[in-house]
Amino acid sequence: MCLSFSSFYNVEVLLLLILSVDIGLSPVYPEQSSFVPLDQPRLRTSVQSGETPFDGSLRWQVTHLGRLVDGPHVVPVQLDPDTSSTLEFLPQDLPVVDGGFLCEVTLFDGQGVSVAEEAGAFEVAGHWTQFPRYGYITQFNKPADPQTLLAPLRNGLINVVQVYDWMDEHHHPWRVGYDYWQDIAARDPWVSRTKLLDLIDHGQTFGMASMAYNLMYGAYDNYQTTSGVAASWGLFRANGEQDHHPLHVMGWETQSLALFDPSHVGWQEWMAHRTGEAFAAMPFSGWHIDTLGDRGTVFNESGQVIDLPSAYASFLEAMQSTLPGKDFTVNAVGDFGGAALRAQDAWDVAYYELWNESNQDDYADLRSFLAEHRSQSSASPVLAGYVNYDLAQQFSDSDPGIFNPSSVLLAQSAILANGGWLISRGDGDALLCNEYFPNRNLQPSADLLRDVERFHHFAVAYENLLRDGVETASGGVIFGDGSVPVTTTGEAGSLWTFRMTRGSDACASRYDIVHLVDLRRAGSNKWRDPAGLAQPVDVLMDQPVRIQFTPPWSESRLWFAAPEWRGGQAVELDAIVSGDEVVATLPSIEHWGMVWIEYRTQSGTCGCPSDVNEDGFVGFADLLDVVASWGACLGCSSDVNGDGVVEFVDLLQILADYGDCF
């Protein structure tokens, strides 16, 4: 554990988040979007004084699913008027788990009164594909500044970016030796290879993977005169003409994309070689493979019908064998090809661009879709769904509109609560509203960007309850005092309740999770809210909830957390058990709240090895156990630090953790 001070901090961010004129506490951000095991997590916050000096203290601690796993630590804070100091936190001895943690910070004045609190999540995981948190970047020209573009994504815990339309041509993404080229939209300034290298490198220092976007089976319409691509590799319509995807955007380098059979060996070899050249010159983490959805009946040159979903799987298998060591994301647009890709289950990340298909458009459809994916694939799902899409068509880049905040946050809530991730945050202050990612027809407010960031931190802090082996579940949930309409099928105008479950871990035999999404704000049942019809409503405060559980209750616990309440910090609820139901009061639900039952059969600590006798308290009895077991003691509970020897360091840890420990 370590804490240090410095006088530098991002003043603009700090001033926006000052909580009072006298003292302010900035958000808690990790140094990286994700840390690999054995790395030292580092987080920072900053304290800013006002017109008067400040003499107080700061307490910080780390929790995992509500349970204390490091701290609390208290340090003095003394500031002259109008000064600031950055504080660094180095969590130690965290549970060995791939997952999320929450660093909770409280600032106290000289009388011990809490004057400000913040919380920030961080993750320790072996690979980004375990919990992919997609963002995107679209600026690769010489003036682009990696710090400016990527720092906001790092602060929002984005651990992978889709590098969108970076390439020269779809069928020839990089020409060997070129340092500058134009993208498909012929944007100025041109794409800079040096800048791409800077962005990839900077992303790596932030813990971000970089996935090179490109289409699986497309070429510029002049491919026959500019490359060695053969027309005989193509996809053809019934009339014998090659299939084309129209673009029709004035000024673009091509007005359509010629399409090819993904299963054709010639096309596979060409794309593997060209992509390999690009990867050798620019160390992307992998390939974000795009598709175009259902093309209808298509044929090869010989007139044979092409099973396009099977061709997707063939192409992915070929690319993985010829580009070893790279990660692969595949976009099954509208779930076309999804069944074949799930059956193969070779993708590292499952990505679905969803539109308004009848079985993907509503909140209930969304829940069913993600449940179906989980039942068929082990890959973590990411969704692209363009919130406020129709609203955005009324504006332009030069005269932008504003995102509807509740539209965005309800989409985030519904997808995260059902085990997915919504790609939304782009470089700088961009938020996604269109399939062409550089589109800026809608702008997010500063408040909305901060809210999305809070939701992302919440998603990381509780990812082991959201995305880690969870399954759809059923069971009774009765919410409210009767004044709030409730739905179990995602109907707008109601509070939507549904359940998930996940299996055991080191602390519990099972978790039952109840999600509550306030669709009273929704303007329709459509989760993308294309027209931006969502409206604000009152925050639900101190509402009762009755949840069916599996007896016995024994030492089980009931927890609550929400992204818009106390920075996402979890609180253990006072639970009243009656038969197979547990009743409690929920403090606050704005867009989304989460309740979970932690099933436990005995008292104990799980996250607190100093509680040797597992009575929920580190005390004199634990100290005596350590003394009695002094010496070599492999695997015994008195070996607090787990090094195989009970010695003085274990005794010191008992003293440091003295008191309640759960």
Q: Is 578 helix (H, G, I), strand (E, B) or coil?
A: strand
Average pLDDT over residues 368-389: 98
Cα 243 from Cα 260, distance rounded (Å):
8
Q: What pLDDT, on the 0 to 100 scale, is given for residue 138?
A: 97
Q: What pLDDT, on the 0 to 100 scale, is given for residue 3?
A: 38
Among 218-232, 241-255, 390-404, 625-639, the range scoring the smallest mean pLDDT is 625-639
Superfamily assignment of 471-599 in CATH? Golgi alpha-mannosidase II (2.60.40.1180)
Q: What pLDDT, on the 0 to 100 scale, is given for residue 174?
A: 98
Q: What pLDDT, on the 0 to 100 scale, is given for residue 621?
A: 84
Q: What pLDDT, on the 0 to 100 scale, is given for residue 11?
A: 37
Average pLDDT over residues 104-123: 97
pLDDT of 645 higher than 90 = no
How would residue 273 be classed by pLDDT, with cut points 50, 70 and 90?
very high
Residue spans per domain, the chain: 5-123, 131-216+262-466, 471-599, 617-660
Per-residue model confidence as pLDDT tens digits over 209-258: 999 999 999 999 999 999 999 999 999 999 999 999 999 899 999 999 99
> Strands 380-384, 349-353: parallel, antiparallel or unpaired by DSSP?
parallel
The CATH architecture annotation of domain 131-216+262-466 reads Alpha-Beta Barrel (3.20)
Q: Hey, what are 227's tokens?
A: 């490359």
What is the Rg, in whole angstroms, of the alpha carbon atoms belonging to the chain? Answer: 27
Name the burial class of residue 443, with classes exposed (0-12), middle (13-18) and buried (19+) by CB atoms within 10 angstroms of its CB: middle
The count of residues in the chain is 662
pLDDT of 397 higher than 90 = yes
pLDDT of 17 higher than 60 = no
Distance of CA 206 to the CA centre of its chain: 15
Q: What pLDDT, on the 0 to 100 scale, is given for residue 660?
A: 62
Angle between helices 405-417 and 363-376 (to 10 degrees): 30
How would residue 20 be classed by pLDDT, with cut points 50, 70 and 90?
very low
Examine domains 5-123 and 131-216+262-466 and report if their fold is the same: no
Average pLDDT over residues 608-626: 78
| Comparison of pLDDT for 407 and 651, the residue scoring more | 407
Q: What is the pTM of this model?
A: 0.91
Give the list of residues 6+ apart from residue 172 with CB closer than 8 angstroms, or none. Answer: 226, 227, 274
Cα 292 from Cα 197, distance rounded (Å):
29
For the domain spanning 617-660, the CATH number is 1.10.1330
How would residue 408 be classed by pLDDT, with cut points 50, 70 and 90?
very high
Q: What pLDDT, on the 0 to 100 scale, is given for residue 601?
A: 64
Supply the mean pLDDT for the chain. 93
Per-residue model confidence as pLDDT tens digits over 545-590: 999 999 999 889 999 999 999 999 999 999 999 999 999 999 999 9
Helices assigned H by DSSP within 541-643: 620-628
The domain defined by 5-123 folds into Immunoglobulin-like (2.60.40)
| Comparison of pLDDT for 645 and 569, the residue scoring more | 569
Q: What pLDDT, on the 0 to 100 scale, is given for residue 619?
A: 84
